[in-house]
């Protein structure tokens, strides 16, 4: 019997929900799933009705890592030629904010996928980690780089060198996730957060996201210059005028993304 679609997308008003649907393997990320994720996010980037995206799996796993069955017999050249970084780049370049809703396992490539997102909401008992060392390899899609930038050298070394996972609660304590909530409240929390963001002026939201991401690897002076120019450009938007007038007039603003 053919495997079901690895990715399912639905929309709730101006929020898109992207769900990984390979429960039989704890949502392990095979090549087909990575390609489907890239295609889905590329399509959502151009949808003016989508102002925020929630990426999730199910209650047992966000994504339990790469599908080792596709790697066990591969050599270095074959792995290099797959160029799987292309698929992650499609997600990283999405202008709308992306929220990862993490329940259960987010290990290896699954944690790397969550770290590509802008906000991570995790369940208290979620298991997050980089276990690649335990099968003779190392993180290859951000586990040594994004993780270090998120939690610092010493926590990143511990997670990558031991391969041991940590709970959602500990992940919150070290700064790896944005919010930690009871496991059965993860999706509701993520959707509420996405809905709140979606109601805000989209030009300002995407400008904030761009400034934070681009400034992360720039000098402070360069980052401040980028921030300043983006701030100035927003004064050309209709939403800026609407937001300020609504505040002064004590009414609810109506943002149109213009």
Residue 1 has pLDDT above 50, yes or no: no
Phi, psi of 144 (to 5 degrees): -95, -15
pTM of the model: 0.94
User: Which of these ranges, 78-82, 166-170, 216-220, has the smallest mean pLDDT?
Assistant: 78-82
pLDDT, residue 3, reads 52
Residue 82 has pLDDT above 60, yes or no: yes
Confidence of residue 70 (pLDDT cuts 50, 70, 90): confident
Instruction: State the residue for tokens 């999405």.
Output: 94
Angle at which helices 238-249 and 202-215 cross, to 10°:
110
pLDDT, residue 174, reads 98
pLDDT, residue 4, reads 67
**Rounded distance, CA 183 to CA 187, Å?**
9
**CB distance 68 to 135 below 8 Å:** yes
**Rounded distance, CA 199 to CA 254, Å?**
9
Task: Give per-residue pLDDT as tens, 124-136.
Answer: 999 999 999 999 9
Confidence of residue 233 (pLDDT cuts 50, 70, 90): very high
Residues catalogued as catalytic: 66, 109, 112, 132
* Alpha carbon 5 to its chain's center: 21
pLDDT, residue 84, reads 83
**CB distance 137 to 161 below 8 Å:** no
Task: Give per-residue pLDDT as tens, 172-204.
Answer: 999 999 999 999 999 999 999 999 999 999 999
**CB distance 107 to 150 below 8 Å:** no
């Amino acid at each position: 019997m053919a495997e079901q679609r690895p990715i399912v997308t639905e929309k709730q008003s101006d929020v898109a929900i992207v769900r990984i649907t390979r429960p039989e393997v704890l949502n392990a990320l095979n090549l087909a799933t990575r390609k489907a994720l890239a295609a889905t996010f590329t399509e959502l980037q151009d949808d003016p009705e989508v102002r925020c995206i929630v990426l999730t799996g199910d209650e047992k796993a966000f994504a339990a890592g790469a599908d080792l069955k596709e790697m066990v017999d591969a050599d270095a050249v074959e792995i290099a030629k797959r160029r799987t970084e292309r698929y992650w780049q499609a997600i990283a370049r999405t202008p709308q904010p992306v929220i990862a809703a993490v329940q259960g396992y987010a290990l290896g490539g699954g944690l790397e996928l969550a770290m590509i997102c802008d906000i991570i909401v995790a369940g208290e008992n979620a298991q997050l980690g980089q276990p690649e060392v335990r099968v003779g390899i190392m993180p290859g899609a951000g586990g040594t780089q994004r993780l270090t930038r998120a939690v610092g050298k010493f926590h990143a070394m511990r997670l990558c060198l031991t391969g041991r996972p940590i709970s959602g609660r500990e992940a919150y304590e070290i700064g790896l996730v944005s919010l930690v909530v009871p496991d059965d409240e993860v999706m509701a929390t993520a959707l509420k957060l996405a809905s709140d963001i979606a109601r805000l002026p989209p030009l300002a939201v995407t400008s904030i996201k761009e400034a934070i991401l681009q400034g992360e690897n720039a000098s402070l002076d360069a980052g401040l210059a980028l921030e300043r120019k983006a701030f100035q450009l927003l004064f050309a938007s209709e939403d800026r005028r609407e937001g300020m007038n609504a505040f002064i007039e004590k009414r609810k603003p109506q943002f149109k993304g213009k």
